[in-house]
Copies of this chain bind each other. A is one copy, B any other.
Amino acid sequence: MSTTPRRGRPGYDLESLLAIAVRVFNERGYEATSMEDLSRKLGITKSAIYHHVSSKDELLRLAVNRALDGLFTVAEEALAHDGRAIDRLERLVRGSVAVLVDQLPFVTLLLRVRGNTRVERAALGRRREFDRLVTELVKQAEAEGDVRPDVDPAITARLLFGMINSLIEWYRPRGGAGAESLADAVCTVAFTGLRA
């Protein structure tokens, strides 16, 4: 006996619409997906979609910012800790793995953005800002003597996040390892290497 007017078609609020849109973008590619395709996939009219968002671009913006906000939140939490930079770096790595596992479709979409639109270029800008934070942390850890000085900090940061970001290619939530054991594996390989 709800008296609240229901926004949009039954079955879709913005959140569930966004989740399906992100799945379709990841399957077919963002560029190759039209609002028409989305409306068919959702089984609702385009105007029902426009009830929630103004454009395909807005769906993309909401999706990539979900991923970016998650990553910046863990970065800020990690950077707020006292102590050694390498421990902050490890917190950042573990937090980032957790965000990837939690928000897998959103991060997948983010990592495939190529910069063809204003929204995509803004996302790439925030990704670069995140990379700078990580590089800065690697530099600090190196200055404190905890990271080997024979690899360039920017390259180290990129290889580290290359490992983490590869999760989107091969990690499957069902039946796979949990976020914590994945984070253990990443930290073991990244910090101490795979050589016995």
Contacts and interface: CB of A to CB of B under 8 A. Distances in A.
Contacts of A114: 26-27, 29
A195 interface: yes
B31 A152 contact: no
Main secondary structure of the interface of A (DSSP, over half): helix
Interface in A140-177: 142, 145-152, 155-156, 158-167, 169-170, 177
A161 B150 contact: no
Nearest to A154: B170
Interface stretch (A15-23, A61-69, A73-81, A182-190): A182-190
A7 B150 CA distance: 51
A116 interface: yes
Contacts of A138: 194
Contacts of A167: 162
Contacts of A163: 159, 162-163, 166
Nearest to A166: B162
A185 B194 CA distance: 14
Contacts of A30: 29
A97 to B, nearest CB: 11
A190 B188 contact: no
Contact of A166 (B26, B29, B145, B158): B158
A3 interface: no
Given A162-B163, A166-B159, A170-B158, A151 B189 contact: yes
11 contacts: A112-B112, A147-B194, A148-B194, A149-B196, A150-B188, A151-B185, A158-B169, A159-B189, A162-B167, A163-B166, A193-B193
- 4 closest A-B pairs by beta carbon, nearest first, are A162-B166, A193-B193, A31-B32, A192-B193
